[in-house]
Amino acid sequence: MKYILRVLIICLLLISACSKGTIDARPIDAKVIDVEVNIKESLCDNIECTENSYCVSGKCVCNEGFKMCNAECISEAYCCNSNDCGVGEICENKKCIKHICPFNQVYEPNKEACACDRDSNWCAMQNKCIPRSSCCVHSDCGNDRACSPTYFMASVCVDDGKEKCRSTIQGQNAYFIVNGVSYDIVVKSISKDFVSLKINDKDLDGHPVKVPYKLTDNANLYIDSTKIAGGVCREE
């Protein structure tokens, strides 16, 4: 009898120990899920989203292929502001427009024109914006000194297997011979990042600096650099 009691006690202890590690599994309460969904949906009850958007948890988000711009969703192909555009471009009516201004000038959308930047002044005598530190007229230089006008230069290069470059002042020409053909290249206007050229009577306006332009099947033209020169007082 004592032996049987001992076996029963051991079995009870084992059963008690095993019951502590069991998992209390309960079915998922569908009502809880319904409440959560209803709460999220109720957050959008009084929300009216603009075109090309929909409400999620009380906030309007744009449809795929659209982006938020000033509280409305516009196509990702459009620009919202000028930060969405490339160098020298400004966002106007959701499109990136290139406004190329001469050296020392910036485009002012309100005036729809280029104007001197904050570090430059308009010099009527030279008909251009010049750095504040540069002289405009001879009287800026004092006695026995003359003002050397400010001018803009571009390094025009042709690569046909041999690289040839010409430092050319705005308004002047650079001459090249490629495979026996002469190229007369006029530097029409120069800015920091773009140059307008005329190549044998063909206009190439607003061409980016450092970007090759196919001159022939085996020769490229490019602008290596641009710079400002002059604007200093010299002894007469």
Q: Which domain holds residue 135?
A: 105-144
Structural domain tally of the chain?
2
- Show which of 88, 119, 144 is a domain's final residue: 144
187 and 111 both lie in a single domain: no
Strand partners for 152: 228
Is residue 68 domain-resident? Answer: no
162 and 187 both lie in a single domain: yes
Q: What is the pTM of this model?
A: 0.59
168 and 189 both lie in a single domain: yes
- Show which of 144, 172, 192 is a domain's final residue: 144
Those residues with Cβ within 8 angstroms of residue 43's Cβ, 6 or more apart along the chain or in another chain: 55, 57, 58
Would you list the DSSP string of the chain? -HHHHHHHHHHHHHHHHHHTT--------HHHHHHHHHHHHHTTTT----TTEEEETTEEEEPTTEEEETTEEEETTS-SSGGGS-TTEEEETTEEEE----TTEEEETTTTEEEE-TTEEEETTTTEEEETTS--SGGGT-TTEEEEPPEEEEEEEEESSSEEEEEEETT-EEEEEETTEEEEEEEEEE-SSEEEEEETTEEEEEEETT--EEEETTEEEEEEEEEEE--EEEE-
Is residue 59 domain-resident? Answer: no
158 and 231 both lie in a single domain: yes
CB atoms under 10 Å from CB of 170, counted, come to: 19
pLDDT band at residue 30 using 50, 70 and 90 as cut-offs: very low
- In this prediction, residue 142 carries a pLDDT of 85
- Of residues 99, 97, 121, 95, the one with CA closest to residue 108: 99
Q: Rounded to an integer, what distance in angstroms lies between the CA atom of residue 157 and that of residue 171?
A: 17
Segment 143-188, tens digit of pLDDT = 889 999 999 999 999 999 888 999 999 999 999 999 889 999 999 9
168 and 205 both lie in a single domain: yes
Segment 68-92, tens digit of pLDDT = 998 889 999 999 988 888 766 778 7
